[in-house]
Amino acid sequence: MNPFEFVIALVVITGVFSLVKYRMTGRHSGGVGEPGDSQETLRLREEVSDLKERLKVLERITVEKENSLAKEIESLRDR
């Protein structure tokens, strides 16, 4: 194998591995509502968003000392 063929072989192998890596990791890094998303994916994204909101509320309740826990629970019930 001469050096020219070796360089071509390396370029082809590198290209194939980058294509495989691109396909395996996904084309997007996780935006909201990608065009190819299924209904299940969209439902799960919405559920994760709702859970993040609930977590923010729980963190606020546990961190803020001036608000009592009972007062926060009552304000959440009124929603």
Tell me the range of 1-5, 35-39, 67-71 where mean pLDDT is highest. Answer: 1-5
Residue 32, amino acid: V
Output the CA–CA distances (angstroms, integers) from residue 76 to 15, 58, 72, in the order listed. Answer: 55, 11, 6
- Asked if residues 45 and 34 have their Cβ atoms less than 8 Å apart, the reply is no
pLDDT digits (tens, 9 = 90+) for 8-44: 999 999 999 998 888 888 655 555 556 667 889 999 9
H/E segment holding residue 28:
none
Q: What is the pTM of this model?
A: 0.39
| Mean pLDDT score, 5-10 | 89
Q: What is the pLDDT of residue 6?
A: 87
